[in-house]
Structure 1
Amino acid sequence: MAENLNDPAAASLMETAAPPAGILVSGHFTQPFGYQTYRSQGTRDWLITFTLSGEGEYRLKDSRFRCIEGDMVILPPGTPHDYRTPEGCVWEFVWAHFVPLPHWSAWLTLPQEPGACTRMHLESGARQERVRAAFARLLRDSLELDFYKRQLSLNAMEEILLVLAEMQSRRTGSTLDPRVEEIWSYLSQHRKEPHSLERLAARVALSPSRLSHLFKEQVGESIMEALLRLRLSHAARLLEHTSLQITEIAEEVGFHSPFYFTKQFTARYGSSPSHYRKERQRTLENENEGALPESSGEKPMV
């Protein structure tokens, strides 16, 4: 067995197939000694595992560690990995392969261990129970092909990442100002509505100039830039997963002019909404054609 991915013995390990990138895939495994996943080139998406009980072992490029109940491990795309159930152990864990939505990027800026992985431990209690419940919903909803179930599974994945980001922010003391959090939450829930800096500032009892400065200082972009990003990321999801017309999507995400929507979408994503939709559909079709058919009773490889 290889001690890490630089060990010459690693060449003899069998590569584990990865699910098609771009599709949220998840599972719940209880694996005895002998279970192993090895990918010398990593995957094209992100991989997250959360240990429910027992022990698992990771052997990465520059590190080797075991994970116990409450341990979360996140591997970015392209990270070579080798993880397994240690001898004498049974490892129960949940996992998910995912491609982050645009507005998740800030939440994935988490501390990394050598070997480009993120490790965080959730003590037993409310936070761990919340993550367990979110994974349960993710597992249930990601099995459905229905558009709304898919959105619910993405919401569960988003909740997991938010819990981790919130936990890290409390450790480092870098929590957002409550007034900035209020505005961010309000914009996220009211993307379609028209907004003005004056009305938003009045909502949190600040002057427009003070709110503008505080928001950009803590979030890294202006309020209107953040709103535009939220609207366009939602539009991208609608283009990918619905058959709504471009004009309908523009209106749904808060643009009164389809021309202006197309201009802003093209500037952000590098292609027009119609071209983006065609490319995403083509990519998903190719990935589905390349996926192996499921065998009855056989678990997917995580």
Structure 2
Amino acid sequence: MSYIHSIDLRELPLYFAYQRSSYEAEHYPGTFHAHQGIEILYIHQGKGTLILEQKSYELSAGILCIFQPYQLHHVQVEISPDMPFIRSIVHFEPHAYEAYFEKWPSLHAFFKQMHTSKLAQPCIYNAGEHELLLNLLRDWNETLPRLSRNEYFEEISLFLLAFLRILKQLWERQTTRTTTVAARNMHHAERILEWLELHYKEPLRLEDMASELHLSPYHLSHLFKDCTGSSISDYITAKKTQQAILLLTATRLSISRIGEEIGITSCSYFCKLFKSQTGITPHQYRKQFQQKIYPQRL
């Protein structure tokens, strides 16, 4: 079974997770995957390997990783009860916040570089030494649940301005200003993932998908399998499952409505598919999550 962190950033302007912890390998098996928008991963505790564009990077506490839109990557981590993997995630759609950065030319140029240019490397080392970064993540985790609907988007924008300003300082401390900035070209597999991001809720029609991407169905299937280690249908199943997990933990939508949100109209089939991927039903998953997060209320 595989888990893919994914969310529809057209509906949710920012996905934020603070010190998310995994204590067993089966809860974070890892797979080649990609995401809509920019994902920034900060590692509080744990170690492993990042594989991106056929290069490997050693991961450990204090490292910050930047994943660009639809950029294939694979995070492999060593997990045990004595050595958990603890990370924070900031994931957003850059185009939704473009206007907020335009008033700050230097920061805007860096913002554009992060999602449109080919980066020299995806990791910033020793980020854990930057106390402002750690304080900002902690404070935002405390602020986010208290935001009203009216101030939500504005406060997110202010958070991202502060976050990117710190990120820019860390990036410039590690890289030289003489580094050549080139446009980033998308791999065929990334274009497939971009298509799946828009259509994963729909019934899979390989011929239609291949036609839109100007590939033969055979080439499309084998290319995706070679690049990700997963079939397209398995990838969609994993993506639906993870999207369902996000909705189960972040909303109060009913189980049947969550099934509909990920493109499954039969509630019984949704529950069966979810259990085949996680080992428990959607209701059990939500109940376990609530017991872990809000034990005093239960």
Q: TM-score normalized by structure 2?
A: 0.48
Q: Which has the higher contact order (CA 8 A, sep 6+)?
A: 2
If you compute each CA radius of gyration, which structure gives the higher value, 1 or 2? Answer: 1
Q: TM-score normalized by structure 1?
A: 0.47
